[in-house]
């Protein structure tokens, strides 16, 4: 299993820099927002956490459909499906590798974008922390979509449409916790802990669903 993790990480670094494209997309999306809403710094700092979160959500959907597709194209998926390791575990490891390759760079890039959006230090820290906890949930639930994409000839866009409604709770509590850290009356911990709970729940549900979908979509 460690071997699988290492291989996928190596691939995400070497294969055309998929992670890099995700981060670039993230930066571009957030960077065009001021052109849309105007350079009002107060407004930007108010909507900042939400914009950064939405940008991260969209970027993490970007590379999702390739998660199993590359393995299917070269036949590796067949061999992975044949192995004795529970398929759920294999999928979980692949999710982790995908997150380290594609999700973690987004988290690391988020403080920079926080500065662009004129957010203060607390807001930047809170956004980064919620992204760190929340983006794995996006990858896990996205794995179901990625497994479905394996069965589809041109599934990329459809997968995003299918996954986005499921990702709404993550967005709500991620952004909610980020705001709670800045705005005084609302406590930070409850939404943050709920976000943690959602991530853990998706860590079970996502691989289960994805493994089931891979078994059924394979032919």
Partner 1 sequence: MRLIAENLSARRGEDLLFQGISFALEAGECLILTGRNGSGKSTLLRVIAGLLRQETGKVTWHSAKAESDMRAAEACHYLGHRNAMKAELTVAENLSFWKSLFGDFEGGRGMSVGEAAEAVGLGGIAHLPFGYLSAGQQRRMAFAKLLVSHRPVWILDEPTAALDVTAEEVFTTLIKAHLAEGGIVLAATHQPLGLEDARELKMVGFAGVMEEVW
Partner 2 sequence: MSESLAITKFSDLANPTRFLALAARILPWMAAVTAILFAVGLYMSFSTEGDYQQGQTVKIMYIHVPAAWLSMMCYTVMALSAIGTLVWRHPLADVSHKAAAPLGAAFTLIALATGSLWGKPMWGTWWVWDARLTSVFILFLMYLGLIALNRAMDDPSRAARVSAILILVGFVNIPIMKFSVDWWNTLHQPASVIRMGGSTIDAEFLWPLLVMALAFTLLFFTLHVMAMRNEIWRRRVTAQRRMAARLAGRDNVR
Determine, following the binding rule CB under 8 A, whether residue 216 of this chain makes contact with partner 2: yes
Reported for 107-114, long-range contacts at CB under 8 A and 24+ positions apart, including other chains, are: 107/56, 107/131, 107/132, 107/135, 109/23, 109/26, 109/27, 110/52, 110/56, 112/27, 113/26, 113/27, 113/30, 113/31, 113/52, 113/55, 114/48, 114/52
Determine, following the binding rule CB under 8 A, whether residue 47 of this chain makes contact with partner 2: no
Q: Which of residues 181-210 bind partner 2 (CB under 8 A)?
A: 186, 191, 194, 198, 201, 205, 209
Angle between helices 18-37 and 41-62 (to 10 degrees): 150
**Shortest distance in whole angstroms from residue 18 CB to partner 1:** 11
CB 77 within 8 A of CB 147: no
Determine, following the binding rule CB under 8 A, whether residue 79 of this chain makes contact with partner 1: yes
Choose between 18 and 142: whose C-beta lies nearer to partner 2.
142
Options 42, 154, 184, 219; binder of partner 1; rule CB under 8 A: 219
Choose between 83 and 120: whose C-beta lies nearer to partner 1.
83
Determine, following the binding rule CB under 8 A, whether residue 9 of this chain makes contact with partner 2: no
Determine, following the binding rule CB under 8 A, whether residue 153 of this chain makes contact with partner 1: no
**Shortest distance in whole angstroms from residue 205 CB to partner 2:** 6
Q: Which of residues 56-75 bind partner 2 (CB under 8 A)?
A: none
Choose from partner 1, partner 2, none: what does 168 bind? Cβ within 5-8 Å by kind: partner 2
List residues near partner 2 by CB under 8 A: 141, 144, 148, 151-152, 155, 158, 161-162, 164-166, 168-169, 172-173, 176, 186, 191, 194, 198, 201, 205, 209, 212-213, 216-217, 219
List residues near partner 1 by CB under 8 A: 1-4, 6-7, 10-11, 14-15, 73-76, 78-84, 218-219
């Amino acid at each position: 299993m460690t071997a699988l993790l290492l291989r996928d990480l190596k691939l995400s670094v070497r294969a055309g820099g998929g992670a890099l494209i995700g981060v670039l997309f993230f930066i571009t999306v957030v960077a065009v927002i001021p052109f849309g809403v105007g350079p009002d710094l107060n407004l930007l700092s108010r909507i900042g956490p939400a914009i950064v979160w939405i940008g991260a959500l969209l970027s993490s959907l970007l590379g999702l459909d390739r998660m199993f597709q590359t393995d299917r194209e070269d036949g590796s998926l067949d061999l992975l499906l044949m192995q004795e390791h529970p398929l759920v575990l294999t999928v979980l490891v692949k999710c982790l590798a995908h997150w380290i390759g594609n999700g973690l760079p987004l988290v690391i890039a988020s403080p920079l974008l926080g500065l662009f959006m004129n957010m203060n230090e607390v807001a930047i820290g809170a956004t980064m922390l919620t992204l760190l906890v929340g983006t794995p949930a996006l990858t896990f639930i996205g794995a179901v979509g990625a497994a479905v994409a394996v069965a589809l000839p041109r599934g990329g866009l459809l997968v995003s449409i299918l996954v986005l409604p499921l990702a709404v709770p993550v967005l709500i509590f991620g952004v909610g916790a980020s705001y709670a850290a800045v705005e005084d009356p609302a406590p930070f911990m409850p939404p943050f802990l709920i976000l943690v709970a959602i991530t853990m729940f998706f860590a079970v549900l996502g691989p289960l669903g994805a493994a089931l979908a891979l078994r059924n979509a394979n032919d």
